[in-house]
A and B are shown apart, each in its own frame.
Chain A
Amino acid sequence: MKSLLGMTAVAVVLSAVAFMLGSYQTDIYRKLLLWTTLALSYNFLFGIAGQVAFSHFTFYGIGAYAILILLFQVGLPLPLAILAGIALCVVLALVVAIPATRLEGFYLALATLAFAQLFIVVLNEGGTVTGAGGGLANYRLPDVFGVRVTGPWYTVVIVVLLLSTFATLWRLDRSWFGRACRAVRDNPEAAQAMGVNVARTKIIAYTITSAMAGVAGMVYAFVDNTVNPPIFGLQNSFLLLFMVIVGGSGRHAGAIIGAALLYLMPFLLSPLIGHHHALVFGVVMVAVVLFQPKGLIGVWDALVARRKLVP
């Protein structure tokens, strides 16, 4: 009950912000919320389930393209298109995950890296279905029950997406499944001995988080009202990984901090160093891995622990 109240309060505050912003700020705010959503689900996959996958951003793209193709080329109504899009993400995630979980350690990263690159190749060669290099544009969100959801109200949709993703991951993390994921990450043999089905746990974690990324992608499709291959390139998969590591992998708060920091950093840095903020990302990433493996949330934990020691 208490957590439900808290969630509602956060939802009201985050939504209220949407009504106070100009169009440029709205764009930044929406993307910040979307990046945070993605970072949260990737944190579950990478930080909690321990799978180094580069396919998360690809599923974001698959979701975005799927909803557009299903709506405007197949001609499904919106609710059906959403369900079919989710089903597509789940099927593709299973196709990747079932064989890939047999791979050890970093090989999963390579298989998913190849999958991510293959997605870009397919987008570029998809002809009129994917719009090839130019992508898809000139569309808008269909009316929902005769209502056009635009402006700040669409931002509210993103807020709902973020909070429902967060709530789902929070519940998953606290359930037997979350503990199984952590056990598999830390010591698969021991987890197996305790009766956890390692392969099944990995597959389910990969599929759930990938489907979440797909749903976020569906929401994204109507943010810029255009999708094209470069958006879903490897750069952003790396950025997502950096966000989770810089914030503190395995922690929801870490993912939120990392996403906010790395998404907003270019806006703060570009007056100073122009387009070279990626260099700063790299340096920050290396520094965090070297000096603060628990990420920024680890710094916070240390501060809190020290406050508690001093009465």
Chain B
Amino acid sequence: MNDFLELVVGATATGCIYGLVALSYLLITRPTGVINFAVGEWSTLAAFGGFLLLSRLEWPYPLGMLLVVTMLLLIGWLTERFTVRPLVERGAPPLAPILALLGMLVVFREFASLVFGADPQPVPPAFGFGRLELGPVAGSYQSFFIIAVAAAVFAAAWMFFERTLAGKSFEAVAIDRRAAALMGINLRRVTSLAFAASAGVAALAGLLVAPNVSAHYLMGLPLAIQGFTALVIGGVGRVEGALLGGLILAFAEQFTVRYAPVPPGLAMGVPLVLLIVFLLVRPTGLLLPREART
């Protein structure tokens, strides 16, 4: 039983990471329709930022975390400004920004390997390597920290979309770009903000997952695929969907590894099979977007 509960805590933490990556996709996809595979690479950059500030320079964790997230907000904003906006303003086909961002994925990844080398680098967890026991529920400090941060981020994102005017303007752009522009919503600002926020969320995911996987220049793509799978499972329409998808994916993955009689290598195929099944059977995901209110 204890073993089971520990697995639940671990899977929840992993699911929160996937959920954050999924949210990172969603923040861009929802208002712009662009799928940005470089979110995984943003997480990589954040993990290396964590290595530099927290492991090398031994900054206090909150300060390091703050600077890393700020840096990534800036990188996200710059990415949009210089690779996406010129294409959108030229009226390029919708595929063009996606391809440009795929190119940026390679640029970010190779930049990381150029600067930090090909070896994995350690990133410390927020509260050291301890174990927390709350009655029968037990897990590492980092697992609980991940869950707490993810809960805060998702609560903030939900509040933003449901309760603020700026959030409503995002939603309006998602429902109908043209109509939103005619209503006086600044599409440029929404897009810039979306990219910056997406990179910020990706940065948190990278920083949180780094103590488990180490900062490595190839860590981005698996994270990007898992995050994307979570997004497809949950549905691109709703913030809660990203978290739900992440949790479903992580539980399916970890329970297969733990309990199913298949070799661990094959269990790596679980997210891929889930992705294919959901794409074919329910491409809209589990949660449907709200209908536009008339």
Contacts and interface: CB of A to CB of B under 8 A. Distances in A.
A264 interface: no
A130 to B, nearest CB: 12
Contact of A282 (B105, B265, B272): B105
Nearest to B262: A125
A78 to B, nearest CB: 32
Contacts of A52: 95
19 contacts: A52-B95, A99-B280, A103-B280, A107-B279, A111-B280, A113-B225, A114-B229, A117-B269, A118-B272, A122-B269, A124-B265, A125-B263, A278-B106, A278-B109, A282-B103, A282-B104, A282-B110, A285-B103, A286-B107
Interface string B79-113: 00001001100001011101110111111011101
A121 B280 contact: no
B107 A282 contact: yes
B104 A286 contact: yes
Interface string B270-294: 0011011001100100000000000
Most chain-A Cβ atoms within 10 A of its Cβ — which of B228, B229, B268, B272? B272
B239 to A, nearest CB: 20
A23 B221 CA distance: 36
Contacts of B106: 238, 278-279, 281-282, 285
Given A279-B107, A285-B106, A103 B265 contact: no
Given A111-B279, A118-B273, A289 B107 contact: no
A194 B70 CA distance: 53
B contacts with A: majority SS:
helix
A115 B277 CA distance: 11
Most buried by A among B98, B102, B266: B102
B94 A105 contact: yes
A290 B81 CA distance: 12
A192 B114 CA distance: 49
Contacts, number: 100
Contacts of B86: 290
A242 interface: yes
A76 interface: no
B204 interface: no
Contacts of A105: 94-95
Interface in B125-139: none
A47 to B, nearest CB: 11
Nearest to A287: B103
B260 to A, nearest CB: 14
B111 A279 contact: yes
Contacts of A121: 265-266, 268-269, 272
A286 B111 CA distance: 14
B103 to A, nearest CB: 3
Nearest to B221: A234
A51 to B, nearest CB: 11
B35 interface: yes
Nearest to A127: B263
Nearest to B95: A52
Interface string B215-241: 000000100010011001000000000
The 10 closest A-B pairs by CB, nearest first: A282-B106, A285-B103, A279-B110, A282-B107, A286-B103, A121-B269, A289-B100, A114-B272, A114-B275, A125-B265
Contacts of B225: 113-114, 117
B96 A289 contact: yes
Nearest to A281: B106
Contacts of A103: 279-280, 283
Greatest chain B CB density within 10 A among A52, A114, A234 is at A114
Given A121-B269, A282-B110, A283-B107, A289 B99 contact: yes
Nearest to B118: A275
Contacts of A285: 99-100, 102-103, 106
Nearest to A116: B272
B19 to A, nearest CB: 18
A145 interface: no
A142 B282 CA distance: 47
A103 B113 CA distance: 35
